[in-house]
Amino acid sequence: MDKKRRIIFDLDETLYADSSLRQRREQFILDFLGEKKEEYLELKKSEGTITSLKKLGISKNIFYSLIEKVELDLKKDEKLREIIKKLKRKFEIIVLSNVSKNLVKKTLEKIGIIDLIDDYYGADCFSQQKPCVECFFMVRKKDICIGNNYEKDLEVPKSMGAITILIGKNDKRSDFCVKKIYEIEKTIQKIERDLNEEILPNL
């Protein structure tokens, strides 16, 4: 029997979106940095959060511990749960995030889908964070990768033969784009039809 194909989800701003939580995490970091915050904000114009902090002498482990101190006031998402439950019948469900694995677990518990996830990974599982190729070791050709940032979440998987769905933006580099996570079901059904008919390009 063939192995199930995989859907690899990003977490923040993909499986859930909460601008208030994102802002509170950023403010917590700024408060922690104190006099270094202006330098951090300047670095962030061209670097990611973890890289910017590293240049200021703040390790990624300190970053993980900082954002874990911010209250995770997310609610169970029944609509999302039903979608993931349906997808799980055909696919292995994996979550891959640039926060710590512990925070990934807590977040999946809060939004009410932890029991539907086959495996999950945080950036602390790897030597570097996404888009490092190492982070995508589980991706196989014709798997589906879903995220809100093309460069971080989808570019490497696409180069490996995965099918990509970008959330919240229109970007021709991604195979498909949808506005919200709740719209992925129809897109995945289309992918399945196209694969059955062998009309998807480059696969």
Number of domains in the chain: 2
Task: Supply the pLDDT for residue 156.
Answer: 98
Burial of 181 (0-12, 13-18, 19+ CB in 10 A): buried
Residue 203's pLDDT band, with cuts at 50, 70 and 90, is very low
- Check if the beta carbon of residue 100 is closer than 8 Å to that of residue 20: no
Residue with tokens 């640039």: 98
Residue 140 sits in a domain of what CATH number?
A: 3.40.50.1000
160 lies in the same domain as 82: yes
Q: Per-residue pLDDT averaged across 157-164, rounded?
A: 97
Q: Which of 47, 68, 89 is the last residue of a domain?
A: 68
Query: Is the pLDDT score of 1 beyond 80?
Result: no
Task: Supply the pLDDT for residue 3.
Answer: 80
136 lies in the same domain as 113: yes
Q: Give the whole-angstrom CA distance, residue 197 versus residue 67.
A: 45
pLDDT for 110-159, tens place per residue?
A: 999 999 999 999 999 999 889 999 999 999 999 999 999 999 999 999 99
Task: Supply the pLDDT for residue 199.
Answer: 52
The answer to the question of residue 203 being in a domain is no
Q: What pTM does this model have?
A: 0.91
Task: Supply the pLDDT for residue 198.
Answer: 65
Residue range(s) defining the domain that contains residue 189: 5-16+75-197
Query: Is the pLDDT score of 202 beyond 70?
Result: no
58 lies in the same domain as 135: no
Task: Supply the pLDDT for residue 2.
Answer: 58
Q: Give the whole-angstrom CA distance, residue 118 versus residue 115.
A: 8
Q: Give the whole-angstrom CA distance, residue 170 versus residue 167.
A: 8
Query: What rounded mean pLDDT belongs to the chain?
Result: 93
pLDDT for 167-195, tens place per residue?
A: 998 999 999 999 999 999 999 999 999 88
96 lies in the same domain as 113: yes
Query: Is the pLDDT score of 39 beyond 60?
Result: yes
